[in-house]
Amino acid sequence: MHPRLRIFAMFAVLTLIFTAIGWLLGGYFLGDWILGSLLFLILAGAMNFVSYFWAHKIVLWSYHARIVTEAEQPRLYRIVQQAAQFTGLPMPKVAIVPLQTPNAFATGRNPKTAVVAATEGILTLLNDRELTGVLAHEMAHVKDRDILVMSVTATVAGAIAFMARMFTWNMMFGGQRRNSNGSDLLIAIAVAVTAPIAALLVQLAISRSRESKADLVGAQNFGDPNALADALEKLEYANKRRPFQQGNPASASLFIVNPFRGSTFFALFATHPPIEQRIKKLRAMAQDLRYGKPMPAIHPS
């Protein structure tokens, strides 16, 4: 699907979710279902506009990422530059995230505004070969325009989850109307539970296929699939041992491996394919390359 169509479809689905929440909350708090729907429809439109133009800046701000120069981070800058050359794209901006959990992501509205960010921890954990594999993966996201889709989804889905949590707290601490009844409580539970799940399902539909494709495209461009496979093994182990303690789990789809760890229930809504599956595909690609077989064709989506 063309990136612009993916963005339109995502905005449409998230707007419907937002409007549905407004319909429920309008009836619950205002006694007017239509007014609640209209207010949240306007709010969704404003949020879509802001997220389209500034989602990447919001993501960078939320993780305290700092744009760095070549003089400040020569190793990271050089490897990002190599990865950009592999994909035939202009050099993106480079950012450092001040976290020791090793991970990386790309964000931006298009290749001209792209930013590739790496945590401090990944620079310590990976060698140059493995880090190049990771950053080639991120540049594959940039080339396929995934960065806008994933940044906007993370921003809007995070807002939906936040509003659902606010509603839950309001219910717990006096937000309930005096004449409320059992049906009102059921509505409250439905909003609190289904809103974040709906947001995660949207991310699931977008992210899993994108991650698999970026693995293969990045490995193909770099020419060393085992480099990314080795990196993924290290990153998965390190992120399980030291998951993120800050940030919104709705942004998990941005990162090369999931930096958040939750319950088994939330694992059902994982934004990444199983790490074993990703590594297996990369090892198979490396094996084919070793025996002179052509790289698999990567179908456009």
Interatomic CA distance for residues 152 and 108, integer angstroms: 9
Q: Are 17 and 23 in contact (CB under 8 A)?
A: no
Tokens of 166: 């606010």
Sign of the torsion angle spanned by Cα atoms 13, 14, 19, 22: positive
Greatest Cα-to-Cα distance within the chain, rounded to the nearest angstrom: 74
Interatomic CA distance for residues 133 and 97, integer angstroms: 19
Residues facing 115 on adjacent strands: 93, 107
Tokens of 289: 């390359």
Cβ-count burial 140-155 (b if 16+ within 10 Å, e if not): bbbbbbbbbbbbbbbb
Interatomic CA distance for residues 22 and 17, integer angstroms: 9
Interatomic CA distance for residues 117 and 132, integer angstroms: 13
Interatomic CA distance for residues 106 and 8, integer angstroms: 21
Interatomic CA distance for residues 240 and 225, integer angstroms: 23
Q: Where are the alpha helices (DSSP H) in the chain?
A: 3-25, 33-62, 74-87, 120-125, 128-143, 146-172, 182-222, 225-241, 264-267, 275-290
138 classed as catalytic: yes
**Residue 93: closest CA among 101, 76, 103:** 76
Helix (H) or strand (E) holding 88: none
Choosing from 72, 120, 130, 138, which is the catalytic residue? Answer: 138
The residues assigned a catalytic role are 138
